[in-house]
Chain A
Amino acid sequence: KAGVTQTPRYLIKTRGQQVTLSCSPISGHRSVSWYQQTPGQGLQFLFEYFSETQRNKGNFPGRFSGRQFSNSRSEMNVSTLELGDSALYLCASSLSGIPTSNSPLHFGNGTRLTVT
């Protein structure tokens, strides 16, 4: 069973540009959530999608957006990039969005975004 796949693994962008990151969940998983990880702030929740609907959103500016497709794949977009957006972006999938011992959350290896 394939794990959570995030593409690309690395990205280098310039301030002001926009970027799109992709996440393919484990087959059968309908929930995809996104997290930003930085050395200073640690892991912070961005948003969660279930069956193409955003169910929850973290405290990030409107430049951060996402969507989920009918096949459960998800994309997140960051517009007008700032230096502080440099981070590891992780996505996680689960069956329902509420993990259990028998159905835990599965994380991808992330996309490392560097903004110069």
Chain B
Amino acid sequence: KQEVTQIPAALSVPEGENLVLNCSFTDSAIYNLQWFRQDPGKGLTSLLLIQSSQREQTSGRLNASLDKSSGRSTLYIAASQPGDSATYLCAVMGLGSNTGKLIFGQGTTLQVKP
């Protein structure tokens, strides 16, 4: 059974810092891994998606890496801003009968202080 873990559960940093969020998963048989952002009371916004054959994806100040063999992914946020404050969730999509179904981690709640 696939399990996804995110560390740390919460993080508070001053504006301008570079930071890394971690995600680990137990079953390497994945189709893809995605990072989402969730603002309070809102739905999820897709940030980056890494296919199982890829090692990383970049979008602006965000970079996500994937090491499928070790079951790890990291989300790197450069030059953090107060607007980055949100909960960040990683999720994996499995293969075969598990395709179409996302397994989520519990999230990392990030606060960026001005």
Contact = CB atoms under 8 A, between A and B. Distances in A.
Interface of A: 4, 31, 33, 35, 42-45, 48, 50, 55-56, 58, 90, 92, 97-101, 104-110, 112
Nearest to B104: A43
A44 B104 CA distance: 7
Interface string B81-99: 0000000010101000111
Given A43-B104, A56-B101, A98-B99, A105 B46 contact: yes
Contacts, number: 70
Contact of B43 (A4, A31, A55, A98): A4
Given A42-B107, A43-B89, A48-B100, A108 B34 contact: no
Contacts of A108: 43
B42 interface: yes
- Identify whether the interface residues of A are mostly helix, strand, loop, or mixed: strand
A104 B49 contact: yes
A56 B101 CA distance: 7
Instruction: Tell me whether chain B's interface is mostly helix, strand or loop, or mixed.
Output: strand
Contact of A104 (B31, B46, B99, B106): B46
B45 interface: yes
Given A44-B104, A55-B100, A110-B43, 9 more contacts: A33-B101, A35-B104, A50-B100, A90-B44, A98-B93, A98-B99, A99-B34, A101-B48, A105-B44
A89 to B, nearest CB: 11
Query: 3 shortest A-B CB distances, which residue pairs?
Result: A107-B43, A104-B46, A43-B104
